[in-house]
Structure formats: C-alpha cells, structure tokens
Amino acid sequence: MTDRHVRRSGDDYARAFLTLLPQGQAWPRHPESVLVRACNGLSDYWGFVDGRAADLLETESDPRLTIELLPDWERNWGLPDPCFFGTQQTMADRRRILMLKMTLLGGQSREFFVHIMSLLGYEITISEYAPYMTGISRVGDTSREEAEAGGHAGNMRWYLGPEEMRFYWAIGVGQVNLTWFRTGPIGGECGVDPHLTIGLGGAVPCFLDRIKPAHTQIVFDYSALQTGGPMAGTP
C-alpha cells in the first residue's frame, strides 16, 4: 500500500488566500463578488497542481505502480536490458523487469534461478550432471536422488563420462510466456499493447548466461516447450 499524502483542493486554497486579504468594504467576501470569484478561479489551478504533486508522490514514487516516470526509473537502473531489447513489452512487463533489477541480490542455488525466471514469466527446470565416482555414486536408476535434490524428473544423478561434465547444467523451458492484455493503472496501454504476446523464451538464455556462475556452461533444452493451452495465463 502506498503512502497517502494530504490533498488540498482549489476551494481549500481559495479559503486560505481570502483569509490573508485585508478586511474592509474594498475587500468583500460575498461569494458572487468579483474578488471572491477571481480568487476561486486562480486557486483552482493550485488545487490541480497540488493533486498532481500528490499523484507523483503516491504513484510515481513507487516503481511497482509508476506510469509517467517509468522511463526515468528504467534509465536510472540501466534499462531497457539488452536481453529484452527489441521485444514489445507491456507496462506490467516493464515494471516486473524493473523490480527484478532493483531487488536482484544474486545466488547460485537451483531455487534462485527458478525463482528469477518465474518473475519474468517462465517456468524452467534445472538438471545438473556429475561424473560417476566410486564410493560416492551408485549404479542403477538414480533419478529419485536427482528429484529429491530438486532436479528434473527423469534425470540421473550420476553419469559415466569426463569429469568436466560437472561444469555443465541443463535448463528446460517448459512453457511459453503468454502475456495477456490487462486493464487498470498497472495494466496495458490501449493502442500500444496487443491482446496477447507469445514469448518463446528468447530472454531465458540471454539473461541466464549473464548471471550464471562464470565457470559453468548452460545447455538449453526446448524439446518440451508447450503453450499450456489457448487460455493459459488468463484469470
């Protein structure tokens, strides 16, 4: 919830202004007098200015709600990001990327990468590979151990192969990112945002290649990519 700021209308400014004027017959306070009507007309403008200032303080100071100052927020945080450059984004997508950039603390766990991509609207699975080591690994179906460790179902825990495989991990993109038009102050823009945008995961390799551990290499797997049905992502 945003902070609420005191809003003063044009009538409030008019009453305050009239109390500062001298008293006497030359300074009438009758509502239909030229003096009062002139003060009311001039004060309406300051009521508008006051309301706009409150809008900026309540809405535009919050990056989750900003509309008019969104380009300024983006510029201050190094956006638009090269990974998302050239794709048409809704206002909600731009705010989501802005909040991600502002709150990204870093991490190397599976949960961290899954959570980061979920904020961008993608569901991913992670599979890691480890060479077979006598005394540590076991033979047979080790997919259960992999699943218990948070890996992709069906992936084995250990493999026969070169030891360098420990530096590789696979990303499975299970579903496309469907962005539907939304109304409201934090939704889409009429005449700008389409009814539906289908993201095929192009931002996934770009962004993950940047934040992954430097000594590792990601293999991206799109074999299980699905749309989730024609109404996926709708309320």
Give the model's pLDDT for residue 59.
85
Q: What are phi and psi of 219, to 5 degrees?
A: -110, 120
Joined together, the tokens standing for residue 22 give 């001298």
- Cβ(127)–Cβ(216) below 8 Å: no
3 closest CA partner among 58, 65, 68, 67: 58
Joined together, the tokens standing for residue 118 give 């979920």
- Cβ(84)–Cβ(50) below 8 Å: no
Joined together, the tokens standing for residue 150 give 């948070």
Q: What is the pLDDT along the chain (235 residues), one digit of tens a residue?
A: 445 678 888 889 999 988 989 988 888 888 889 989 999 988 998 889 998 888 888 888 889 888 889 999 999 998 888 877 555 567 887 888 898 889 888 888 888 998 888 887 778 888 888 888 887 777 777 777 666 665 655 677 777 778 888 899 888 876 666 667 777 655 667 777 777 665 555 667 888 888 899 999 998 877 766 655 555 555 5
Three-state DSSP class for 226? strand
